[in-house]
Amino acid sequence: MRLREGLNPDVTVVAVTKTRSAGEAMEAYNAGLRIFGENRVQELAAKREQLPGDISWHLIGHLQSNKVKPAVASAAMIESVDTVRLLRLIDAEALTQERNIDCLLQVHIASEESKSGFSLTEMKATNWGEVASSLRAARICGVMGMATFTDDREKVRSEFRTLADIFRQLREGYFSHDSHFREISMGMTGDWQVAVEEGSTMIRVGTLIFGERIKK
């Protein structure tokens, strides 16, 4: 189990257990980590059953509307909310399940079209105050984004800076009195240091913690 030194203690580490065994995840738990992230709802739910109950599970991968029910049942936070419609479905399901759930708005900041998220235009055109006030069981806690997969560190830095700027605009425009609106989830194993420098409060890392996957 390897954790990179020099990480600000105020930055939340989400241990990404995608493709990792429950045993490997347990090693991370024994090392003190309590927030785990999964890309797929089924994998999250399965590992949640096998691992200690005080783990906070984050869904970090794309969520299809037909998987909202199990996602709400299993996750403490859904980081990948990429449409208002999805947010409303999550809210309705959380209300049905009589529980609250935290959400992050995923913003498309990368140059790759394959990545999901609200466009910058959508973020600016939406009245997030009205959206937030209409929610009864879901809570908008911040933003999430993934930078372009590239060796160009300045491009990555620029994209992270864009996300941090969006976060500040949302906080000042709509959430200035909401203490729960505080998360900027950006940065993975290859770019977490740049993300933290640009204001990340939450990094999603797998290889950084578990090491390289062993090829069979």
Backbone angles phi, psi at 37, to 5 degrees: -125, 140
In the prediction, which pLDDT does 75 show?
A: 98
Asked whether residue 5 is domain-assigned, the answer is no
CATH (domain of 129): 3.20.20.10
Is residue 111 within 8 A of residue 148, CB to CB? The reply is yes
Asked whether residue 142 is domain-assigned, the answer is yes
Residue ranges making up the domain that contains 31: 12-210
Number of domains comprising the chain = 1
Asked whether residue 116 is domain-assigned, the answer is yes
Tell me the sheet residues that pair with 106: 144
One digit per residue, pLDDT tens: the chain, 216 residues? 344 455 566 899 999 999 999 999 999 999 999 999 999 999 999 999 999 999 999 999 999 999 999 999 999 999 999 999 999 999 999 999 999 999 999 999 999 887 889 999 999 999 999 999 999 999 999 999 999 999 999 999 999 999 999 999 999 999 999 999 999 999 999 999 999 999 999 999 999 898 876 554
Structure tokens at 12: 């939340």
Asked whether residue 4 is domain-assigned, the answer is no
Asked whether residue 176 is domain-assigned, the answer is yes
Asked whether residue 169 is domain-assigned, the answer is yes
Asked whether residue 127 is domain-assigned, the answer is yes
Residue 193, C-beta contacts closer than 8 angstroms, at least 6 positions apart: 6, 187
Residue 144, C-beta contacts closer than 8 angstroms, at least 6 positions apart: 60, 79, 80, 104, 105, 106, 107, 117, 183, 184, 185, 186
Q: What is the pTM of this model?
A: 0.93
For 54, other C-beta atoms within 10 Å of its C-beta total 7
Asked whether residue 72 is domain-assigned, the answer is yes
In the prediction, which pLDDT does 2 show?
A: 41
